[in-house]
Amino acid sequence: MKEESFFEKENSIPDPWDLPLETFDVSKAEIFESNLHGEYFRRLRKESPVHYCPDSQFGPFWSITKFHDIVAIDSDHKRFSSDTNIVIGDAEPELVTPMFIAMDQPKHDVQRKAVQPVVAPTQLSELEVIIRQRVGNILDDLPENEEFNWVELVSKELTTQMLATLFDFPFEDRHLLPYWSDVATTSETVGIEVDMNKRQEVLQECLAYFSKLWHQRAAEPRKFDFISMFAHGEDTKDMINDPMEFLGNLILLIVGGNDTTRNSISAGVVELNRNPKEYEKLMSDSSLIPNMVSEIIRYQTPLGHMRRTALEDVEFKGHTIRKGDKVVMWYVSGNRDEEVIENPDAFIIDRNKARHHLSFGFGIHRCMGNRVGEMQLRILWEEILKRFDRIEMMGEPQRVLSNFVMGYSNVPVRVHKK
């Protein structure tokens, strides 16, 4: 599977098979932007599945790259902490925004439970009608006979509308949500050079906007949106008094409901175009959609990693992980683990056991909005099949620069109506 010429010719990223394992570093965001990470992780899974990188721009870190090892660490929340930082880079202490994904028990539990009902399955049937209507409107408004960016007009628009509903956010200002989401994920902590103080200024605007909403919601009876649930939650009603923690949880819910589904929506178009036989299968049998949705989420792995910090020395697979060490679980690698997933590099929409993937994480921090994300993708593809013979990709998609968000900024397409 080695594609030697590709690495040297196309870019400055070295061929991973030529590098010494002692200093092997998978954390550079450019590797992911160039879509060359697959070969890097193939080498680690084969030769050093629990790997210690002694030095990187994020300092030393462990890489966990095989499926079952990732599940083991992810489930072991007593020894592998999520406290404060859950991506590879540490935020500067004054810029830390506490959020429940980056907390341990018991605080994590009470905050998560306060808002989880908004996206729990029983709530979803009510949302399904609204989503289907909106998907229909978005698809009906797409330009015909001209090329456009699928990410902007569909992926981003649909997830933004959904998020506005979950927050009961003023619909006319909804474009602020993906803007804040992108600002939040454009961070030094995931390998992107950026002015972190400017980033913080924009996020303060986000905080100011939401603080107003909080006070409105707190003065009204409780209802099923994230802000109202926090404002009326017994254990969360004082969160407004800790602005950084309020901001942190806002970022969590905005990014969680935005980037992930957005990039899965884009990835579906990309992979179906790269795999025409799979597109044929889909066109001839729409009942494959739910299974395809899981396969898209596995194949794309919208969030490439999560990071833990060891709370004590741990013997793991013949290695000693020391107290305080960073441990990075590379979901994007585990989802290609040859020993767990058959023919893992292939995109197969009717794959057996497609739900058995790592993209939502496992253990107590498992994705809270997984069913909302799956539902949006399912409805989108049901409505696409009603309207279009083909969403045709017109050129190579542009990936984003990050070792965390596995996404696309541009997927040029043309739609062919029925």
Partner 1 sequence: MTKVIFIDHDGNNHQINATQGDSLMEVAISNNIPGIDADCGGLCACGTCHVFVEPNWLSKVGERSEMEDSMLEYTESVKSNSRLSCQIKISEELEGLTVQLPEEQY
309 neighbors 326 (Cβ within 8 angstroms): yes
DSSP result, 374-401: HHHHHHHHHHHHHHEEEEEE-SPPEEPS
CA nearest to 255, candidates 73, 84, 57, 101: 101
User: Residue 59: which region, alpha, beta or left (left: phi > 0; alpha: psi -120 to 50)?
Assistant: left
Interface of this chain with partner 1, residues 122 to 141, rule: CB under 8 A: 122
Residues written for the chain? 418
Q: Min. distance of Cβ 318 from partner 1 in angstroms? A: 21
In this chain, which of 39, 69, 74, 182 binds partner 1, going by CB under 8 A?
Answer: 74
CA nearest to 192, candidates 201, 183, 200: 183
For the chain, how far is it from start to end, CA to CA, in angstroms?
Answer: 39
> Of 243 and 363, which CB lies nearer to partner 1 in the complex structure?
363
> Of 33 and 337, which CB lies nearer to partner 1 in the complex structure?
337
Q: Which stretch binds partner 1 (CB under 8 A): 57-65, 106-114, 156-164, 207-215?
A: 106-114
> Of 28 and 355, which CB lies nearer to partner 1 in the complex structure?
355
Instruction: Return the SS3 of 60.
Output: coil
Q: Min. distance of Cβ 372 from partner 1 in angstroms? A: 11
Q: Min. distance of Cβ 309 from partner 1 in angstroms? A: 19
Query: What are 213's two structure tokens?
Result: 């909403």
> Of 119 and 411, which CB lies nearer to partner 1 in the complex structure?
119
Examine residue 156 and tell whether it contacts partner 1 (CB under 8 A).
no
Q: What is the CA radius of gyration of the chain?
A: 21
In this chain, which of 14, 54, 60, 121 binds partner 1, going by CB under 8 A?
Answer: 121
> Of 116 and 410, which CB lies nearer to partner 1 in the complex structure?
116
175 neighbors 153 (Cβ within 8 angstroms): no
The DSSP letter of residue 153 is I
Query: What are 358's two structure tokens?
Result: 């790592």
Q: Please give the Cα distance from 198 to 200 (Å, whole number).
A: 5
> Of 6 and 362, which CB lies nearer to partner 1 in the complex structure?
362
Q: Please give the Cα distance from 292 to 348 (Å, whole number).
A: 8
Q: Which stretch binds partner 1 (CB under 8 A): 111-119, 182-190, 220-228, 270-278?
A: 111-119
Examine residue 299 and tell whether it contacts partner 1 (CB under 8 A).
no
Q: Which stretch binds partner 1 (CB under 8 A): 113-121, 148-156, 233-241, 409-417?
A: 113-121
Examine residue 275 and tell whether it contacts partner 1 (CB under 8 A).
no
Count of residues near partner 1 by CB under 8 A:
24
Q: Min. distance of Cβ 252 from partner 1 in angstroms? A: 15
Q: Min. distance of Cβ 180 from partner 1 in angstroms? A: 26
Q: Min. distance of Cβ 61 from partner 1 in angstroms? A: 23
Q: Min. distance of Cβ 1 from partner 1 in angstroms? A: 26
Examine residue 287 and tell whether it contacts partner 1 (CB under 8 A).
no
Examine residue 57 and tell whether it contacts partner 1 (CB under 8 A).
no
> Of 112 and 307, which CB lies nearer to partner 1 in the complex structure?
112
Which own/partner pairs from 78-84 qualify as long-range (CB within 8 Å, at least 24 positions apart)?
A: 78/311, 79/310, 79/311, 79/312, 79/314, 80/308, 80/309, 80/310, 80/311, 80/314, 80/327, 81/308, 81/309, 81/310, 81/311, 82/108, 82/308, 82/309, 82/365, 83/309, 84/309
Q: Which stretch binds partner 1 (CB under 8 A): 73-81, 155-163, 343-351, 385-393?
A: 73-81
Q: Which stretch binds partner 1 (CB under 8 A): 118-126, 242-250, 259-267, 300-308?
A: 118-126
Examine residue 290 and tell whether it contacts partner 1 (CB under 8 A).
no
In the shown chain, the binding pattern of residues 343 to 372 toward partner 1, with x for contact by CB under 8 A and - for none, equals ----------x-xxx--x-xxx-x-x--x-
Q: Please give the Cα distance from 322 to 313 (Å, whole number).
A: 4
327 neighbors 59 (Cβ within 8 angstroms): no
Applying CB under 8 A, which residues contact partner 1?
68, 71, 74-75, 77, 105, 109, 112-113, 116, 120-122, 353, 355-357, 360, 362-364, 366, 368, 371
